[in-house]
Amino acid sequence: MMLRAAGKRLLGAAPGGVGGGEAALAAAVTAARRGYHERVVEHYNNPRNVGAFDKDDADVGTGIVGAPACGDVMKLQIRVDEPSGRIVDARFKTFGCGSAIASSSVATEWVKGKQMEEVVAIKNTEIAKHLSLPPVKLHCSMLAEDAIKAAAKDYEAKKGKLAKSDE
């Protein structure tokens, strides 16, 4: 349960800052017992890109997905450089298990600097492999893949609408 507590502190804009050394060590011990891969623990303790963009920004795409099995919610946002079509920044907010948080964290790392066509090709199996997710947690990586696609779709839809209104 130490792992969960650490996550709760770190999810969203944690005022206390990202977990310190002691917490990380304790969490690592718990994780080792539970069998979480060290990459999952790492992402859990030091999640990259937690936060949010203004979803109304023209260059932001927001994808929000859920897993009914566990009641998880995952929000992934991308900021796109319009002329080049390149994703310049990403943020995520996930309420769920360690694997779900780690999957979305990895997703935000991987989409940065890529083109839209590239990111929609990111497969959940790649994320799962990177995190050594056990079979029972595969759906967490699927959630991340779906979140990326949803964010891309949202951005494209927004762009389309704006283009129409300019005509």
Partner 1 sequence: MWRRAGARLHLAGAATGAGRSVRRRPPPPIPSAPSSSASYSPPSRHSNGVFWGSVGAPCRRLSNQPSGGGGGGACWSCGATGAFLSCGACGSVQPVDPAVDYFQIFGLKREYNIQGNNLEGKYKDWQKKLHPDLVHSKSEKERGFAAEQSALVIDAYRTLSNPLSRALYLLKLEGIHVDEEKTINDPELLMEMMEMREAVSDASDSQTLEKIQSQIKGKLETWSASFQEAYDKKDFERAVEATQRMRYYERAVEETVKKL
Q: Can you tell me the distance from the alpha carbon of 41 to that of 34, in angstroms, rounded to the nearest whole number?
A: 11
The contact set with partner 1 (CB under 8 A) reads 4, 8, 11-12, 64-73, 75, 93, 95, 139, 142-143, 146, 150
Q: Can you tell me the distance from the alpha carbon of 76 to that of 147, in angstroms, rounded to the nearest whole number?
A: 6
To partner 1, the closest distance from the beta carbon of 63 in angstroms equals: 8
Q: Can you tell me the distance from the alpha carbon of 57 to that of 54, in angstroms, rounded to the nearest whole number?
A: 6
> Is position 70 annotated as part of the catalytic site?
yes
Of 140, 142, 147, 151, catalytic:
140
**CA dist 31 → 44, 66, 95, 123, 151 (Å):** 11, 25, 19, 26, 31
To partner 1, the closest distance from the beta carbon of 93 in angstroms equals: 7
> Is position 97 annotated as part of the catalytic site?
no
To partner 1, the closest distance from the beta carbon of 31 in angstroms equals: 19
Catalytic residue numbers? 70, 140
